Structure 1
Amino acid sequence: MTRTPDFLTPARLGRLALPNHLVMAPLTRNRAEADGTPTPLMATHYAQRASAGLIIAEGSTPNPVGQTYPDITAIHSDRHTAGWRQVTEAVGAAGGRMFLQLQHGGRVSHPATTGLTPVAPSPVPLPETIFTPDGHRPAAVPREMTEDDIRATIAEFAAAARRAVDAGFEGVEVHSANGMLLHQFLAANTNRRTDAYGGSVERRVRFAAEVTEAVADAIGAERVGIRISPGSTVNGVLEDDTDGLYAALVARLKGLDLAYLHLVRSAPEAGWYRRIRADWPGTLIGNPDLTDLTTETVTRESARMLAAGADLVALGRPFLANPDLLTRLRLGAPLNPVRERYLMYVGGADGYNDYPTLVDQPSSDSMVALDGARVA
Structure 2
Amino acid sequence: MVHTPGIWTKEQVEAWKPIVDAVHAKGEFQPNGQAPISSTNKSLTPQYQSNGIDESQYTPPRRLRIDEIPHIVNDFRLAAKNAIEAGFDGIEIHGAYGYLHEQFMKDAVNDRADEYGGSIENRCRFTLEVVEAIANEIGPERVGIRLSPYAEFMESGDTNPKALGLYMANALNKYGILYCHMVEPRMKNVLQIDDQCPHSLVPMRKAFNGTFITNGGFDQEEGNKVVDENRADLVAYGRLFLANPDLPKRYAIEAPLIKYNRETFYTPDPVVGYIDYPFLE
Normalising by structure 1, we get a TM-score of 0.67
The CA distance in 1 between the partners of 2:203 and 2:151, in whole Å, is: 17
Q: CA deviation at 1:208?
A: 0.9
Alignment of 1:171-190 (within 5 A): 171-190=90-109
Q: Deviations over 1:2-59 (max 9, x none)?
A: xxxxxxxxxxxxxxxxxxxxxxxxxxxxxxxxxxxxxxxxxxxxxxxxxxxxxxxxxx
Contact preservation (8 Å) 1:343, 1:350:
no
**Greater strand content:** 1
Pairwise CA RMSD: 2.1
Identity %: 33
Alignment-derived partner of residue 370 in structure 1: none
Alignment of 1:101-140 (within 5 A): 115-128=33-46, 138-140=57-59
Contact preservation (8 Å) 1:126, 1:140:
no
Going from structure 1 to structure 2, the CA distance change for 1:136 and 1:79 (only over 3 Å counts) comes to farther
Normalising by structure 2, we get a TM-score of 0.88
Match of 2:34, SS state, is: coil
Alignment of 1:29-108 (within 5 A): 68-69=1-2, 71-100=3-32
Q: CA deviation at 1:247?
A: 2.1
Alignment of 1:153-232 (within 5 A): 153-232=72-151
Q: Deviations over 1:224-282 (max 9, x none)?
A: 00100021001111201112222222222112111100012366985440110111111
Alignment-derived partner of residue 192 in structure 2: none
Going from structure 1 to structure 2, the CA distance change for 1:305 and 1:212 (only over 3 Å counts) comes to same
Alignment-derived partner of residue 48 in structure 1: none
Tell me the number of residue pairs that the alignment of Structure 1 and Structure 2 aligns: 267
The CA distance in 1 between the partners of 2:162 and 2:265, in whole Å, is: 37
The code of the aligned residue for 1:243 comes to K
The CA distance in 1 between the partners of 2:265 and 2:37, in whole Å, is: 30
The code of the aligned residue for 2:159 comes to D
The CA distance in 2 between the partners of 1:151 and 1:73, in whole Å, is: 23
Higher relative contact order (Cα pairs below 8 Å, separated by 6+ residues): 1
The counterpart of 1:323, out of the listed 245, 259, 263, is 245
Match of 1:205, SS state, is: helix
Going from structure 1 to structure 2, the CA distance change for 1:125 and 1:161 (only over 3 Å counts) comes to same
Alignment-derived partner of residue 208 in structure 2: 280
What runs of 5+ residues in structure 1 fail to find an aligned partner?
1-67, 101-114, 291-297, 360-376
Contact preservation (8 Å) 1:130, 1:139:
no
Match of 2:82, SS state, is: helix
The counterpart of 1:306, out of the listed 214, 223, 227, is 227
